[in-house]
Chain A
Amino acid sequence: EVQLVESGGGLVQPGGSLRLSCAASGFTFSSYDMTWVRQAPGMGLEWVSSITRGGNTYYGDSVKGRFAISRDNSENTLHLEMNSLRAEDTALYYCAKIVYIGGSQLFDYWGQGTLVTVSS
């Protein structure tokens, strides 16, 4: 059974940093691209960042230059390093597994999320 468990969220002051982790199990982690999607309280979904199995990275415009996605295939863990945090980064952060079906890039399994609150 595929499981994705996020951790590392919490309360941080504006300008601060936080590192999120996503522990993966139930599939061959190193063979799959992975992604982070966030959801501000009461709002919609926003794609944050993706990393390919080969280590190529992609970022949304709102986090580019401040966030860094990485993966540790030996530990089956996905990370999101978040710097220069702003109030608008407050959200529930989901990690998700990416699957390609006929060329479609799809998020087929999701974790339950970890909450990041940026406030003084």
Chain B
Amino acid sequence: EIVMAQSPATLSVSPGERATLSCRASQSVSDNLAWYQQKPGRAPRLLIHGASTRATGVPARFSGSGSETEFTLTISSLQSEDFAVYYCQQYNNWPLTFGGGTKVEIK
């Protein structure tokens, strides 16, 4: 099983600032990586797939990068609606696996 490790566990950021979230895979997943956003009491929402492609309707302030084992999700200027938990997920191998999540909270 491919283990996905996210860091940091919690990120405190002021509105308008940049947030950088990391995700590391225990072995190469090529670019078969997605990012999901989850707000309290809500189902997850797809943000990024193919490591760097924004899903339909996702604002341009969200960007993804990386390949193989190292990935980054960047939120260029945090808006109030962006405070949430973010999960990376690999779909290169069965079983599909998620990272433990990074909570982005208001500083």
Contact = CB atoms under 8 A, between A and B. Distances in A.
Interface of A: 37, 44-47, 50, 58-61, 94, 96, 101-108, 110-113
Interface of B: 1, 32, 34, 36, 38, 43-46, 49-50, 53, 55, 85, 87, 89, 91, 94-101
Contacts of A94: 43-44
A94 to B, nearest CB: 6
Contact of B44 (A45, A102, A104): A45
Contacts, number: 62
14 contacts: A44-B85, A44-B87, A44-B100, A45-B36, A45-B44, A47-B89, A47-B96, A47-B98, A101-B50, A104-B32, A104-B34, A106-B91, A108-B46, A113-B43
A106 B53 CA distance: 12
Contacts of A102: 50, 53
B95 A110 contact: no
B60 to A, nearest CB: 18
B26 to A, nearest CB: 14
B44 A47 contact: no
Interface of A, helix, strand, loop or mixed by DSSP:
strand
Nearest to B33: A104
Contacts of B91: 104-106
B32 A47 contact: no
A101 B49 contact: yes
B10 to A, nearest CB: 13
Given A45-B89, A110-B43, 15 more contacts: A44-B85, A44-B87, A44-B99, A44-B101, A47-B89, A47-B96, A47-B98, A58-B94, A58-B95, A101-B49, A101-B50, A104-B34, A107-B34, A108-B55, A112-B43
